[in-house]
A and B are shown apart, each in its own frame.
Chain A
Amino acid sequence: MRRSDRRSADRERRYDPAVVSALTAGLMLLVAAYGTAALVLTAMGRAPREYLVIASMVLSALVVVMVVIAAGLLVAGERPDELGTFVGYLVVAVILLPLGTLWALTERSRWGTGVLAVACFTLLVVMVRLQDLWSTTGG
Chain B
Amino acid sequence: MGEPRPTYSGPGRILVAVYAVFALAATARAGVQIATRFDEAPVAYLLSAFAAVVYIVATIALARSGPAARRVALVACSVELIGVVVVGTVSLAMPEAFPDETVWSGFGRGYGFVPLVLPVLGLLWLRRSAGDERVGRRLR
Residues of A within 8 A of B (CB): 82, 84-85, 88, 92, 100, 103-104, 107, 109, 111-112, 114-115, 118-119, 122
B28 an interface residue at 8 Å Cβ cutoff? yes
Contact check, B21 vs A114: say whether CB atoms are below 8 A apart: no
Stretch at the interface among B6-14, B43-51, B65-73: B6-14
Give 13 A-B contacts (CB < 8 Å), ordered by A residue. Answer: A82-B32, A85-B28, A85-B32, A88-B28, A88-B32, A92-B24, A100-B17, A107-B10, A109-B10, A111-B10, A114-B13, A115-B14, A118-B17
Q: Which residues of A contact B24 (CB under 8 A)?
A: 92
Contact check, B28 vs A107: say whether CB atoms are below 8 A apart: no
B135 an interface residue at 8 Å Cβ cutoff? no
Q: Which residues of B contact A109 (CB under 8 A)?
A: 10
Interface size on B, residues (CB 8 A): 14
B62 an interface residue at 8 Å Cβ cutoff? no
What is the chain B residue whose CB lies nearest that of A119?
Answer: B17
Q: Which residues of A contact B18 (CB under 8 A)?
A: 118
Q: Chain B 9-42 against A: per-residue CB contact (8 Å), 1 yes, 0 no? A: 1111110111001001000100010001000000
Q: Which residues of B contact A88 (CB under 8 A)?
A: 28, 32
Contact check, A114 vs B32: say whether CB atoms are below 8 A apart: no
User: How far is B10's CA from A53's CA once the two chains are assembled, in angstroms?
Assistant: 19
Shortest CB-to-CB span from A83 to chain B, Å, is 11
Q: Which residues of A contact B9 (CB under 8 A)?
A: 107
- 17 extra interchain contacts, Cβ-Cβ under 8 A, other than A103-B16, A112-B13, A115-B17? A85-B28, A85-B32, A88-B28, A88-B32, A103-B13, A104-B13, A107-B10, A111-B12, A111-B13, A111-B14, A114-B13, A114-B14, A115-B13, A118-B14, A118-B17, A119-B17, A122-B21
